[in-house]
Amino acid sequence: MSAANRKVLNVLNGATVSPPPIWLMRQAGRYLPEYRQTRQQAGSFLDLCYSPELATEVTLQPIRRYAFDAAILFSDILVIPDALKRNVRFTEGHGPQMDPIDADGISGLSENGILDHLKPVMQTVSRLRQALPQETTLLGFCGAPWTVATYMIAGHGTPDQAPARLFAYQHPDAFLRLLDFLADVSADYLVAQIDAGADAVQIFDSWAGVLGEAEFEKFCVRPVARIIRSVKSRRPSAKIIAFAKGAGVMLKTYRQKTRADAIGLDWSVPLSFAADLQKDGPVQGNLDPMRVVAGGAALTEGVDAILQALGNGPLIFNLGHGITPQANPDHVTDLVNQVRRNG
């Protein structure tokens, strides 16, 4: 089937599709009982990410259940630092942890062996493209350099990423070297995913919202633009979604500066502002994940507001961040039905 029959790709090419295509960030996750069962089989979370068979299975689970218009590769943004031998581990109740990196460690980083370490991910992508319905867009992804760097500097997640912000001020040259390095290896990683069968890719900058204006330009815009420039220089037809969570008004020029094909919007972005952004091209978002937890009127009203504000332009319906473990799977059914009925 040609790409023209894939609704998500149509929107990424600038078309308005009614009803809009829908997929959800973290659509393969702990809210689904079938995911929890597969997760138990895998052992560790990283074992699940690196098992082509099991990662394919959990990626397909929400497609079977909801027939989303896109499947997103099941993996994690921290497979890059894992490939860099930063001793990444996921501890129940504590989130991701790794060995913190310092300026000397940054100087010693090497690209050698990264893509070899990540071959199981590309095997998963290839399996998925063969297993998915042809009309379902397959999305690959990576973490944005700023967001990945925040974990590498602190060794874990923090509420406001103060360790990375402080490091960037105290060691500006080393920090920019880290961002450039991560941008280059991430571009290679995305190209490998595209070559393995991904139809489009998304760059997740989950911690963009903790930065001031100047820092956002240096730490978010510049490295994401570097990734996109590198990917498109090698794969000119590649379609790329950039999601800078919490960026607010700084999204006004984000698309132009990064050359992303679409921009993801978190739930704090006002719909009037989102409609303004949509004049320049496709947008993706931006339902509050808590509305999916609540269900009922909260869900209905949130979906209606987005469809009314953005449904007459190029829109990929999504949440404003990942679906939460406490979400009711039946509420997701209601969400999908409403978008497809009223879009």
Catalytic residues: 26, 30, 39, 76, 151
b/e per residue 217-231 (b: at least 16 CB within 10 A): ebbbbbbbbbbbebb
Pairing of strands 95-97, 89-91: antiparallel
Task: Yes or no: say if 51 and 74 are a contact pair by the CB < 8 Å rule.
Answer: no
The Cα-based distances of 272 to 223, 237, 278, 306, 310 in angstroms read 28, 31, 10, 10, 9
DSSP string for 33-62: HHHHHHHHHHSSHHHHHT-HHHHHHHHHHH
Give the whole-angstrom CA distance, residue 136 versus residue 5. Answer: 9
* Cβ neighbours of residue 166 closer than 8 Å, sequence gap 6 or more: none
Give the whole-angstrom CA distance, residue 144 versus residue 139. Answer: 16
Enclosing H/E stretch for 291: helix 289-294
Give the whole-angstrom CA distance, residue 11 versus residue 20. Answer: 8
Report CA 85 to chain centroid distance, whole Å.
23
| Site of tokens 């290679």 | 188
